Structure 1
């Protein structure tokens, strides 16, 4: 399965910060995963009147449909191309799930952010987790669609090329980097960027640079949105200088920002 991504797709990942892979897993796998998730949702699946909150957050899931969704040969070949063979870790679970429901209430998590990748002083407080220039712990951000997502179904907003801007913010901070909240507080300083929306059929996966700025939005459709946003874990850390073997696209994007 080598070479699953075209050179154009790899260049798009480096410059825009993401690519979309259609049919990364089957609709049957997606439907099986959604059936499991509904068991943990405190609403009546058949009664939209019971969907009283805009977001229900669910944890990590290790059942077979979830593992199948992020471990196909097609997807793993893409990981090798973007991150490098042997540099990423196979996932043993998938999560978290911010399940979004049609609602007049605004969600409380719609701010711009970059997902953090390693614990800070308080490991159990995600807002104090950190991000550094070598993306310790995180190779990619994945947006995994388990339901069909249209423009009305609260698609994640992606800020193209924002990973370049974030790399420039992180570089002076060295290995310590910035906390989730410290970085979030500086995102409004960045240049305005063109946006894309993570729409697609169930089975679509967006592979995003770990520094990509993104945000949630309100759900204006009719059916719940099921999406996971797990990291692809990094075995060590990215190499951004003095490599004797070259640089993977995820590293090239950072070098583009710094040079």
Structure 2
């Protein structure tokens, strides 16, 4: 977790592809009819955690990785894969490619905000093969160590937090969330990341699923998740 993320083979590629097939049906489009791909991003979702989605989020491999990162008992089991943005090629890109960290704490009024004392971490779940040209999520390696002092003790809206962490992490090297269907990136809640333009030819299917921590992130704790913001 020192880099701000770890990559896990959570399921066989055919499981990820089975989930992708269900998502095509959900959005009413076809992999064989690109003339219907008219939007750069189409949103789908898994809210049940059933079938191939459940095989991925409930896999022993992913559970072991989360135990290693958060400590045994440090995370709560997922109920679903959540929101799934599907990015399509050969179109003007969506205006959603700014550097940010995801909303990670609930506010008193039931909304969400960004804080250094995160109550979630992030999973990026691949349902398609993602190569360098297929709009892989960009990750600033080690940027969680910049985000914590940039945020301090404050609580911020998404835009304000993004401005702070983008500036603080500007010198970090880049990694890209590439891989095979069924692979999962376990991303530190303070790792700075961003979408990017799709330059390939095949749609990219990827879930953005929050995992609730059993307690807010404590930078002084003795877990890889906490040590990642200190070392």
Would you say the 8 A contact 1:120–1:179 is kept in 2?
Answer: no
Q: Residues 1-259 of structure 1: matches in 2 within 5 Å?
A: 13-14=1-2, 16-21=3-8, 23-62=9-48, 63-120=50-107, 123=110, 129-135=112-118, 137-138=119-120, 140-173=121-154, 177-190=155-168, 191-241=170-220, 247-256=222-231
Q: CA deviation at 1:69?
A: 0.5
Would you say the 8 A contact 1:52–1:103 is kept in 2?
Answer: no
Distance 1:106 1:121 in 2: 35
Q: CA deviation at 1:121?
A: 6.1
Would you say the 8 A contact 2:145–2:230 is kept in 1?
Answer: no
| TM-score, length of structure 2 as denominator length | 0.92
Distance 2:62 2:73 in 1: 14
User: Which residue pairs with 1:5 in the alignment?
Assistant: none
Structure 1, unaligned runs of 5 or more: 1-12
Q: Which SS does the other structure have where 1:189 is aligned?
A: helix
Using a 3 Å threshold, how does the CA distance of structure 1 residues 28 and 112 change in structure 2: closer, same or farther? same
Which has the larger Rg?
A: 1
CA deviation vs aligned residue, 1:124-146 (integer Å, no higher than 9, x gap) = 6xxxx2122221x20x2111111
Would you say the 8 A contact 2:57–2:80 is kept in 1?
Answer: no
| TM-score, length of structure 1 as denominator length | 0.83
Distance 2:109 2:134 in 1: 34
Structure 2, unaligned runs of 5 or more: none
CA RMSD after TM alignment: 1.7
CA deviation vs aligned residue, 1:53-77 (integer Å, no higher than 9, x gap) = 1100113332221111112111111
Q: CA deviation at 1:157?
A: 0.5
Distance 1:188 1:27 in 2: 34
Q: Which SS does the other structure have where 2:139 is aligned?
A: strand
